[in-house]
Structure 1
Amino acid sequence: MTAAATHRNGLFRRWHEAGNECVPPTDAQIVTSDGKSIPAHSSVLASASPVLERMLDRSRKGGNSERIIHVLGVPHDAVLVFLQFLYSSRTGMWSREAEEEMERHGMALLALSHAYRVRWLKRRCEAGVAAWLSAVKVMDVLKLARLCDAPRLYQRCMRLVAKDFEAVQQSEGWRFVQKHDPGLEMEVLQFLQETSQRQKRWRRERGDQDKYRQLSEAMDCLQHIRTEGCTDVGPHNSRPPANPCTSFSTCEGLRLLIRHFAACGRKLSPKGCTHCKRMWQLLRLHSSLCDQPDSCRVPLCEQFKKKVQEEKVDRTWRLLVKKVVTARVMSSLANRKVPEIVQKSRKRYRGTR
């Protein structure tokens, strides 16, 4: 036994046996894998763990004067720390020393808390083990998380594997899994494939959202151009507005497109040109979003409204309109001014962290 373990064992024994008249004498012995024993109180063990309670009941029925419980498969030091946590749970103690013990014996404590159904300690062990996860040890922790039914720790391990799989492949744990646990290897590879698919889908959806946001901005700029005017585009004058345009690049693109549309001689031809087709689509989209066609100054808004009422609109176009409306709402929420009282609350919160 190391000097640190001897010191802890001495503290443990003195807490129970010496100098404290309020503490009754121990009536149980915990025997570890190396044959060493640790004194304990059966009442504390029974109240902390239903599994230990049943083991103590069986020992009592066997007629033994001193109840003996064998805790095997983990080092003696880890069992000693496990018992210390069981005792400290009665007083709610959780010190820096306890954090250090958790870092030193976290995996063994997780196995013990699962086997003996100490739920509060199991949750702390999951958090403690997750705090020092690394690519070198993640496969060992992943196997333990499966055995101990620790889903949060399992997901944390899987995310780390997906994040740094190249480093995980160089570890002894991964090589062991490849040789002896093909089921776990398959789980990891499937998770990596699903993660890759989710990332591709997320990037695709993010790109689509950017397109819908740009269309929403184009709709705002189109109405802005036709009502207030922007640079040298406007229904009544070419004087720039008093407030600078917040979407000048979009307005500039629409300005060029409007100029082309006004001068192009092929905008009414069956084939037309690419730029004119784009302008027709923007005008049609505006009419689908506009709720005041009678007073709207955007060209052809009312005509498109009537055409939509007469003809059946295809599902794809309705979906596009819905997506642009959603993007407009989300953009307005993102640009909404935060009340001053909320800003002050956020500053106070950040200052306390």
Structure 2
Amino acid sequence: MVAQTISMNYHTTRVLPEPDIFIHTSDGTRIPTHAAILASVSPVLENFIDRPRKHRSSERIIQIHGVPTDAVTAFVGFLYSTRCTEEEMDKYGMHLLALSHVYLVPQLKQRCIKGLTQRLTTENVVDVLQLARLCDAPDLHLRCMKLLTNHFKAVEKTEGWKFLVKHDPWLELDILRFMDEHETRKKKSRRHREEQGLYTELSEAMECLEHICTEGCTDVGPYDVEVKRERRPCGKFSTCQGLQVLIRHFATCQRRMKGGCLRCKRMWQLFRLHSYVCHHADSCKVPLCRQFQLRMQQEKSKDDQRWKLLARKVASAKVMSSLSLPKRKRDEETRVSSINNPGIRSFKLL
């Protein structure tokens, strides 16, 4: 094979001397380069250049095989200009990533990782995943795993996946394990969101209960506060209307004393939860708050720890909900909740 020397456009404004070292590619092409520039960019190429030659007069050569000549040309062009075109990334992104890893060119490696991440498809994801593992590119590896997990049915039909199943069962096992762990994390996250949603609702119910018992609302309020006779439901809390209905039922239910009413039991639990959250039992207007707190001091049961844990989670949900509000609204709610208005612990039912 006769070596063919190509002319290079180095994309640089510097005046360069005559090339003093050649890169040979798989098809015999010779790419003229400059040893000083190669050595300054890549420590691996620097080691090649610094090796002693058998004959001082012999031509200095670096062999780069296994990738297309145009990919090597793009690689050399980056060493001179630190630039890589979108067209080069489209055609040779995977080859350039391999070269950047082998020859320790971190700038090009990051450029390739970003470029390949943007170009991931169900067709190429298996090949890119294998390369990312070999080239120590954890970010790209993770993106490939996520795409595989989210579009596994489409990836499963590709030739890349079929080849992987036949020739790399360990990687297949890693992928399937990742998918299983991903599904487990999703279930845990979903369960956590549902629990947080419940705690947030309970937190709002506690605020709503204090609002009804202290300020009075559309249907229910303390004796010394005029109840607002409005046709529209309370706009302060979404749970207010339902809670007022529950309070009205609790006050008049005949089955409550026998413990056979589920609605009354729910109201009783809300009163009890409030007593664990409340820090102003002496001045609190919520019914049974003082009684529950005295009972807590006298009787330390196993249920007490569970209620305390629930109260902490509800309080935490309130803080998180408050932090997610705009600052002006958060300041207003803080100001309103800090008002201490002592009064009686009874309701006026209409």
Q: TM-score, normalised by structure 2?
A: 0.86
Q: Which moved more, 1:330-339 or 1:194-203?
A: 330-339
What SS does structure 2 have at the residue aligned with 1:12? Answer: coil
State whether structure 2 residue 305 is matched by structure 1 residue 315: yes
State whether structure 2 residue 151 is matched by structure 1 residue 164: yes
What SS does structure 2 have at the residue aligned with 1:245? Answer: coil
Cα distance 1:28–1:298, how it changes in 2: closer, same or farther (>3 A)?
same
Q: Give RMSD over aligned pairs.
A: 2.3
Q: CA deviation at 1:238?
A: 2.8
Residue in 2 that maps onto 1:348: none
Question: Is contact 2:128-2:144 (8 Å) kept?
Answer: yes
State whether structure 2 residue 257 is matched by structure 1 residue 264: no
Question: Is contact 2:8-2:32 (8 Å) kept?
Answer: no
Residue in 1 that maps onto 2:265: 277
State whether structure 2 residue 243 is matched by structure 1 residue 254: yes
What SS does structure 1 have at the residue aligned with 2:61? Answer: strand
State whether structure 2 residue 110 is matched by structure 1 residue 119: no
Residue in 2 that maps onto 1:326: 316
Cα distance 1:21–1:178, how it changes in 2: closer, same or farther (>3 A)?
closer
Opposite residue 325 of structure 1, the aligned amino acid is A
2:214 counterpart (202, 218, 227)? 227
- List structure 1 segments (4+ residues) > 6 angstroms apart after TM superposition: none
- 2: CA distance between counterparts of 1:190 and 1:78? 35
State whether structure 2 residue 68 is matched by structure 1 residue 71: no
Question: Is contact 1:59-1:67 (8 Å) kept?
Answer: no
- 2: CA distance between counterparts of 1:80 and 1:180? 32
Aligned 1:133-282 pairs, distance under 5 A: 133-236=120-223, 237-240=226-229, 245-247=234-236, 249-269=238-258, 271-282=259-270
Aligned 1:81-92 pairs, distance under 5 A: 81-89=74-82
Q: Deviations over 1:5-27 (max 9, x none)?
A: x9xx54527x79xxx99311101
Q: CA deviation at 1:157?
A: 0.5
Cα distance 1:338–1:127, how it changes in 2: closer, same or farther (>3 A)?
farther
1:336 counterpart (326, 331, 348)? 326
- 2: CA distance between counterparts of 1:301 and 1:278? 15
What SS does structure 2 have at the residue aligned with 1:38? Answer: strand
1:23 counterpart (8, 13, 16)? 16
Question: Is contact 1:106-1:128 (8 Å) kept?
Answer: yes
Q: CA deviation at 1:308?
A: 1.3
- 2: CA distance between counterparts of 1:226 and 1:77? 78
How many residue pairs are counted as aligned between the two chains? 321
Q: Deviations over 1:163-183 (max 9, x none)?
A: 111111111110111111001
**Which 5+ residue runs of structure 2 have no aligned equivalent?**
330-350
Identity %: 53
* Higher normalized contact order (CA 8 Å, seq sep 6+, divided by chain length): 2
- 2: CA distance between counterparts of 1:157 and 1:197? 19
- 2: CA distance between counterparts of 1:217 and 1:62? 85
Q: CA deviation at 1:68?
A: 0.3
Cα distance 1:216–1:62, how it changes in 2: closer, same or farther (>3 A)?
farther
- 2: CA distance between counterparts of 1:253 and 1:337? 28
